[in-house]
Amino acid sequence: MSAALSDALVFFGATGDLAYKMIFPALQAMTRRGRLDVPVIGVAKSGATLADLRARARDSLARHGGVDEQAFAKLSARLRYVDGDYGDPATYAALRQELDGATHPAHYLAIPPRAFGTVIEGLAASGCARDARVIVEKPFGRDLASAQALNATIHRVFDESSVFRIDHYLGKEPVQNLLLFRFANTFLEPIWNRNYVASVQITMAESFGVQGRGRFYEEAGAIRDVIQNHMLQVIGFLAMEAPTTTYAESIHDEQVKIFRTIRPLSPDDLVRGQFRGYRNEEGVAPDSTVETFAAVRLHIDSWRWDGVPFFIRAGKCLPTTTTEVMVTLKRPPLSHLADNDTNYVRFRLSPDVVIGIGARVKRPGEEMVTEPTELKVVHKPEGDEMDAYERLLGDAMEGDRTLFARQDGVEAAWAVVEPILHDATPVYEYDCSTWGPGQADALTADVGGWHCCAPVSP
């Protein structure tokens, strides 16, 4: 379909958790910015009414960022609601009515993937899918085969050019900055390769547990929840070749290429952990072997990266909530001047946004010795920055696919983790507020251990 602006936004799962936490705040922000001037139709099966949905939207905003009365009044006036079973044709007949002549709506499936097929068929049979876009949320499957099946289900009705797969990490400013910082600065590119980089580490630490999402988490685990998607996207931006500026799919092509160049993970490169107490969470099996922590070592078989180990460590109930990338450079010659590896480039992606370049300078005094320092840029978010969901929903409605995952990229990312799914290694228990099981330290023993995370900047 053409890149026309979507003329209605339909969101399935309107009374669910994702809508409550993420979608309503994004809708209000889009309205405030004048980026949402069309009917917004919630669909769910909950026995709710439009008045209930408006009340829920207000409640969600009060808890997540605050109610902007002016924007909320506009949003609330545009809000419609269809209550019905996703398998019932009457639901889609009611949706058609609410679409009120819209000819190219965007349908956002904020629902579990098992319901995708039913909704997509309902949309197709009722004519609501014609000239429409579809926005879907991760997880895009549970493994390669189910991702392929899911894609086939979607493609039965929607062409790939109309499919918008949200990985909200791609919508984050500091994640996009990884790509831009690399290619907008002449000093970086000559050293961004196996000749100068010793290792790369990414830590995604969360100090909280599964926050009532035990049932969801049992189906996922850290590898499926954040490594196959968010973390690999970060590696993609860190490691890909420069996209060209001459055609729109170039970034996707480079993402796919880098994912295909990552060697499928071996169980030898994996340590899994589970925080003590996880098994007592609601919805979690008493003998669950699902990991809440995973550390992996990846190898990228490319001309640029051959031999450079990439590490990812992600977990719940760790000592802090921080996501950080550490690119450690090789020691300079005459390295007796340095006690340890303090030549590095550090990207703190959250909660604060920092780029730090670790260097050594002469310690003032008579001795010819050095000490470590860090050249640092701290980004202070200014009032009204777009958050990831606002940006991605707006882009989807405009038909801009740059920041969405493409089918072949999703499948290539599954192929990387495929050998370590299904309890490939034992799961070790760890205490909350520690850095996961001690076994994970062995992975990085050859590169001086894990490097994360300096305290959050004041």
The residues binding ligand BG6 (CB under 6 A) are: 206, 225-226, 350
Q: What tokens does 110 get?
A: 């904020």
CB of 208 to ligand BG6, least distance (A): 8
CB of 160 to ligand BG6, least distance (A): 23
Angle formed by the axes of helices 250-261 and 232-239, nearest 10°: 110
**Which one of the listed residues 104, 107, 168, 230 is annotated catalytic?**
230
Q: 3-state DSSP call for residue 262?
A: strand
The nearer residue to ligand BG6, 40 or 204, going by C-beta atoms, is: 204
Task: Tell me the CA end-to-end span of the chain in Å, nearest whole number.
Answer: 48
Distance between CA atoms of residues 133 and 154, nearest Å: 11
Distance between CA atoms of residues 226 and 299, nearest Å: 19
Does the active-site annotation cover 252?
Answer: no
CA-nearest of 236, 177, 167 to 412 is 236
Q: Between vectors from CA 72 to CA 71 and to CA 74, what angle results, nearest 5°?
A: 65
Whether 178 and 350 have beta carbons less than 8 Å apart is answered as no
Distance between CA atoms of residues 372 and 169, nearest Å: 32
Strand ordering across the sheet containing 106-109: 79-83, 40-44, 9-12, 106-109, 133-137, 163-166
Instruction: Kindly report whether the peptide bond that precedes residue 139 is cis, defined as omega within 30 degrees of 0.
Output: yes
Known catalytic residues are 230
